[in-house]
Amino acid sequence: MDRQVWLEATSAVLETIESAFLGEGTSPIETLPSNSGGQHSAGGRKHSRRGTSDTMSDIDASGSPVKRRRESIDGSYADGEPSKPTAKSRKVSSALSRQFARSLSVSNGSAVEPLEIQADCDMADDYGVAESGISSPIPLSAVSSSSSLSSISPWPPTSRTSGMSLSDPMTGSISSAPQSTGATNRVFVFPSMNRSTKAREKNNADLGISREAPSKRMSWSGMETDSNDGGLGPNLSGHALGNSGTSCTSGVAERSAFVSLMTSLHSDCIITSEESANLAIQQWAINQAHVSGEQPVALKDMLEVRLSRLRELLPAVLDQIAGDHRRASLLVGDQIREFYRAGCEIADIGEWMERHNFNLLAAFFPSLGQVLMQLHSLIGVARVVEDMYTVLQWTPEFSLSLADMSVEYEELIASKRLLYRDAISQDGLQWKTMGLPVDPQVFMRVRRWMESTSEICLVRLTRICERKANSASAYEKDDVSTDSLISSSSQIMHSLALCANMCGSGFPGLASHALFVVSECTLWICNRFKLSPGSKGTSAGGYRGRQLVSRAMRQIQACEGILKLLSYLKVMLGSAESSLFDIPMRSDHVVACSAALQNLASSVVEVSWLLAETLAAFRADGQMAKPSGVLLLFADFVLKFTKRVVDFGGFRDVSAPNARLGQQLRRIHVCVQSLSVVCQ
């Protein structure tokens, strides 16, 4: 990909926004005189753009056949009739305000856990900008595209897979990210759309989650680009990950079966001989038979088999754990899998004993209490490893519906992140420090499986976007609406970013598909805003008062979705801490990536023109001299938008030729700060 394309687009964005703040003639529209009639000058300055117009006045928006009358600031309707105070206009305004407030609310829960990606969007410090009172915006801590879905295996796998408690010693705890306090860093959340109830019930049934007792979900807090997902929920934010108070509902419980069994021994139960042991088992079998309805003899036989198996497995397993942690494990290949299978078998025995209320384990294995925590850790890791081996033998089968597929893929990635933690990204480093054997080949194969599964979803999404892009109109009736497609795209891209973060590396092999999806969604968001009902194809200069406020807030909401997509794309490609253009691309994807990047850059520049038009309308309305709260919020967002555009291209260093970008960004920041000072 050509770095120069994004550099030129970034320069155009900064120049446009800076001119709009300063009110200079180089802005997309000339500063309009404030007048009560809301009329605007027709002599706005035109900018050339590749095949598109720079101002909304150039857009022919064919309105619907039936239009409701719209009031203007001067108190007359569009057809010249005198205006009368009506409850309808107030209701519409209140409804829009409530809807926008809901969409901008900070997400308190979601289907996926937040990303732990170091925020690379904090441009203020990089350019010597000190943002007082505002915490840095941030979020986000090679398979053939013809991959087919297999119908052999159900989704999810039917084998027992277990997650680990957030407090498990082998996985480490997750600390929640601090809340952002500034308007710039606020998490703007799009409401979850098109998440079919049928799809959720299907997946919950496969996962064994009942409707009466739904599992707890990790809450997102951030990314939305900073932006967390925007409402996709994870916290890509500043270092986001999580809500440390959330517990796993599937997998290894915080209080394992062996912990319960070893602490439930009756004080009057003492086993000193084989005879006393037989008597204790016989008494247990009789008592348990009344509860389970099974025969005492059968219960006794099953218990003796399990006790015998424990006597065989525990010494070998515990000897491996008790070895020198600094010494490399002597187990290799299939031996490692057999070792962890033994750990899973021990866990199954413990769960069986707990279900049957066998509280004599401490009497039969008195020394087990000394290694209880090590055994608990081993069981947790064994569950993870066994799940990895199971996953490698399974091909996921997603629903045909795009909305259902998005939910299924999101829940799949969420469950694997909750179970695997950072094991894949660190190649089992924490397991090695515990003295447990690690097979690097397994981690490599799981990464490939994750990329292959992600490609299945992304390729299908790309084909749907291509059909929509090739249709006669973005609003033409189709099997998937534009709004639904944008929502599903954001959902899938967010899950892709989470998956890449979990694997510890990006998926550059998917760059062409991801760039195309993001560029098309950016164009649709921009066009949808420009051609929204009521815009009448006019520029923002014709808006005043409440209409201008409504336009500004809708613009923030629409553009926030673009910022989220840019952040997801950057993380998914593995460039969260580096330049997007330093990523090695497949030779057969270079042309497609360059074309998609060109379209994306063009759309981002057009978005900056729309933002500049709204700033000019605020100036024409006289609000620059006495800023309103909405103007301050809008200015903060515009500053964040420029930072994200600069950061997306990796232009964070202040060396030439990026020094000029840094200077422009500082000047824009000063303009935003000056508005706050005037307001005070």
Q: How far apart are CA 228 and CA 667, in angstroms?
A: 27
Q: How far is CA 192 from CA 204, 216, 486, 488, in A?
A: 18, 17, 11, 9
Q: Of 517, 514, 453, 455, nearest to 486 (Cα)? A: 517
Q: How far apart are CA 386 and CA 496, in angstroms?
A: 24
191 compared with 457, residue with greater pLDDT: 457
Please write the tens of the pLDDT for every residue from 391-404: 999 999 999 999 99
| Angle at CA of residue 179, ends 175 and 180, nearest 5° | 135
| Angle at CA of residue 301, ends 298 and 302, nearest 5° | 85
Q: How confident is the model at residue 389 (pLDDT cuts 50, 70, 90)?
A: very high
Q: Of 428, 573, 421, nearest to 116 (Cα)? A: 421
The mean predicted confidence, pLDDT, of the chain is 70
Please write the tens of the pLDDT for every residue from 308-366: 999 999 988 888 776 655 555 677 888 999 999 999 999 999 999 989 988 888 888 88
pLDDT recorded at residue 626: 84
Q: Is 84 buried (19+), middle (13-18) or exposed (0-12) by CB count in 10 A?
A: exposed
Q: How far apart are CA 59 and CA 469, in angstroms?
A: 19
Please write the tens of the pLDDT for every residue from 286-316: 999 988 888 999 999 999 999 999 999 998 8
Please write the tens of the pLDDT for every residue from 75-108: 443 444 444 445 655 565 566 556 655 555 433 3
Q: How far apart are CA 142 and CA 608, in angstroms?
A: 35
71 pLDDT exceeds 90?
Answer: no
pLDDT recorded at residue 185: 35
257 compared with 522, residue with greater pLDDT: 522
Q: How far apart are CA 587 and CA 331, in angstroms?
A: 40
633 pLDDT exceeds 50?
Answer: yes
Q: How confident is the model at residue 656 (pLDDT cuts 50, 70, 90)?
A: low
180 pLDDT exceeds 60?
Answer: no
